A and B are shown apart, each in its own frame.
Chain A
Amino acid sequence: MDVTDQFAIQTSGLSKIYGGRTVVDQLDVALPKGVVAGFVGPNGAGKSTTLRMLLGLVRPTAGRGTVLGSPLNRPGEYLPRVGALIEAPAFYPGLTGTANLRVVTILGGIDPARVAVVLDRVGLTARARDRYKTYSLGMKQRLGIAAALLSDPELLVLDEPTNGLDPQGIVDMRGLVRSIADDGPTVLVSSHLLAEVQQVCDWLLMIEAGRQIYQGRTADLLAGGSRLRLRSEHRTDLPRLGDMLRRHGFEPESDGAGLLLADGTITDADLAMLSREAAAEGITLVELARTAATLEERYGSLVSGGVR
């Protein structure tokens, strides 16, 4: 099997420079097929520009790549198999939801019967005959996703799909993205809302100021930042607990009420040993638990650590 067949998106040195300003800098992406990937970075990090390059809207300044096995400079080969919602949903205000989707089906040579299917999928059937300009922001986002689903895509690209939504709208959108992903397409969701990405995505591509700082499994990234927290019954026992840990080769950090250990290689046997040793020292542990790092914490450590 060709290596490009394993990846929905693969790029090498992909860059975009606008007037001397590097917006996307040497991205080497290898996005496996079938994952739900989060494309993470702060506003202005270069996410939308990267997605536009992948969709043939923006010409890369340097680098190359493939989408669904076809080269970036031949978007006509892969775009029929890609669905995309780039930035804010964009439709004709005076047309109904149905008519807007009809325009998309005609342009893409898509079966018009798909219009009713995708409208039902995003829960817009009841408002399909209303003009787009009467839709709420959440409905506009859902129509945007419906348009992206029209071609029953192998790769779905959603750029900030929760932008501007209220909390319930964000929850609904998360559920929709998750249910779409269950149908099998590779999904790439860009967002600067890290908590949202953490809940939905099993793969991450993280960028900062146009540069790639991480790509890989979400679980791997979070595992690298998980910690062990120990808390004694009496706070006055914490110094003795710290001494005991250091004797066993650990480097505890205090968080005020307890002690934290990096959880990279701590086994269950280590946990049992620490529990016994503490008891032998006369220290009663009321907490001995692994705490997973949040994506926000890991992103922060990657940015501050200059990891590439």
Chain B
Amino acid sequence: MTRAMLAELIKLRRRSVVIAAAAVLPLLAIIATTTLFAAAGTKPSSGLDAVFGPSLGQLGRAGGLTRGFTATASVVGLLVLVVFIASTTSEWAHGTIRVVFTRDPRRLRVIAGKAAALLIVTAAALLLALIVSAITAYVMASIRHVPTGTWLSGSGLQRAGGDWMRAVLSASCYGLLGIALGTLIRSTTVAVTIAFAWFFPLEHIIQNGWSGAGRWFPGLLFGAVATDGTVETGFARALLVAAVVVAVFVAVAAVDLRRRDISA
């Protein structure tokens, strides 16, 4: 698995990937953090509103440093999903899966190594986004006169670390699901279309008519993981159910990968 991971890291050293990881996520973090601070009012909010529309007072508490990052992380999931799907399906599209599996026929280990490399890069990109978001938060705090005294306190740093960890967990759920879908479907267009159709409109449409959606649907659960829980479900439960959903998809994809012929 280590070999496959190192090989994947070489592929990820491409300029386009580096630009995407080093620019897109930090840029999203800057936009989200700036918007969050610019739009913040004086009236306290709760639930999801506290994530995407906190008051100036809430921003001045411990954890305010990374509020913008948390808002980014919940959006980053879909980006991660697409990148992981495309990274997997492109192996079939380019035919490189033939080369890969004739050099290392242990298919599951190869895909596991690929997943590990992608997750490492994702975690690093999210850390960079967190740092950029924090710098942006300080700039915006000085403009909006938000107190920052508690941001670097022990509790504040703990919240920041937790926010990063939750973002990584949420992105990992999206990423592993993306690899499972990519492995099963093997077509970028079809896999991305299915994923977007489900995670964008369908889940939210159903959620409008069924209150239990937020407790069971993967996209909503992954979002709940990123935002430390929602009104419908707490963080721990969201993480557990999300992990089960991902595990089921990964298991089905693993069986398929072991058995299906490589005809690409």
Bound CA–CA A84/B10 (angstroms): 22
Indicate which residue in A58, A93, A147 contacts B261 across the interface (CB closer than 8 Å).
Answer: A58
- Out of A79, A91, A104, which one reaches B94, CB within 8 Å? A91
B98 — nearest CB in chain A belongs to which residue? A86
> Given known contacts A76-B105, A109-B3, is B259 in contact with A59 (CB within 8 Å)?
yes
- B252 contacts the other chain (Cβ, under 8 Å)? no
A79 touches B103 (CB 8 A): yes
Contacts of B105 in A (CB 8 A): 56, 75-76, 79
62-121 of chain A: CB within 8 A of chain B? 75-76, 79, 82, 84, 86-88, 90-95, 99, 102-104, 106-109
Among A86, A92, A99, A109, the residue within 8 A (CB) of B102 is A86
A93: nearest chain-B partner, CB-CB: B94
The answer on a CB contact under 8 Å between A57 and B94 is: no
Interface of B is mostly: helix
What residue of chain A has the Cβ atom nearest to residue B9's Cβ?
Answer: A106
Smallest CB–CB gap between B164 and chain A, Å? 29
- Contact, CB under 8 Å: B10 / A99: yes
Docked CA distance A91–B93 (Å): 11
Instruction: Verify if A127 is at the interface (C-beta below 8 Å from B).
Output: no
Q: Which residues of B in the span 94-114 have a Cβ within 8 Å of any Cβ on A?
A: 94-106, 110
A147 and B98 CA atoms in complex are apart in Å by 12
Who on chain A is nearest to B4 by CB? A107
**Is A178 located at the chain interface by the 8 A CB criterion?**
no
Known contacts A58-B262, A108-B103: A102-B10 contact under CB 8 Å: yes
Residues of B within 8 A of A (CB): 3-4, 6-7, 10-11, 13-16, 94-106, 110, 259, 261-263
Can you list the 9 inter-chain pairs with the closest CB atoms, starting with the nearest?
A90-B95, A57-B262, A108-B103, A107-B103, A106-B7, A58-B261, A75-B105, A94-B14, A103-B7
Can you give 23 A-B contacts (C-beta < 8 A)? A52-B263, A57-B98, A57-B101, A57-B262, A76-B105, A79-B103, A82-B102, A87-B95, A88-B95, A91-B94, A91-B99, A92-B96, A93-B94, A94-B16, A102-B10, A103-B11, A106-B10, A107-B7, A108-B3, A108-B103, A108-B104, A109-B3, A147-B99
